[in-house]
């Protein structure tokens, strides 16, 4: 069970203010969360081996491709200097 002292310590480390009247409810909620995490962790699951490659593309080789044409990319820009995109910076009022 999560104690009020632990809630206070977590709040201090997180730089959060917790009113004293909220401590009991937070301790109960945190205890419920920890109990649920323990319940999930206790479930035994037999996972499929990663070697089957289903849905995985992590082992594909790197492929070098040419960069897009600069002029073509800049043609889509609202403004450019011919070499880079030019962004307008506005100050918030």
Per-residue pLDDT of the chain (93 residues; tens, 9 = 90+): 899 999 999 999 999 999 999 999 999 999 999 999 999 999 888 876 666 555 555 666 778 899 989 999 999 888 889 899 998 887 776
Reported as half-sphere exposure (CB side, CA atoms, 13 A), residue 52 has a value of 5
What is the radius of gyration, based on Cα positions, of the chain? Answer: 27
Q: How many CB atoms lie within 10 A of CB 80?
A: 16
Measured in degrees and rounded to the nearest 5, phi and psi for residue 4 equal -65, -35
* Phi/psi of residue 85, nearest 5 degrees: -70, 140
pLDDT of residue 37: 95
Predicted local confidence at residue 44, as pLDDT: 86
pTM over 0.75: no
């Amino acid at each position: 069970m999560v104690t009020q002292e632990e809630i206070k310590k977590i709040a201090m480390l997180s730089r959060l203010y917790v009113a004293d009247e909220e401590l009991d409810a937070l301790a109960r909620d945190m205890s419920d969360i920890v109990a649920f995490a323990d319940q999930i962790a206790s479930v035994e699951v037999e996972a499929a081996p990663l070697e089957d490659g289903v849905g995985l593309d992590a082992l594909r080789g790197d492929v070098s491709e040419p960069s897009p044409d600069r002029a073509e990319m800049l043609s889509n820009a609202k403004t450019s200097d011919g070499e880079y995109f030019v962004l307008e910076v506005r100050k918030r009022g």
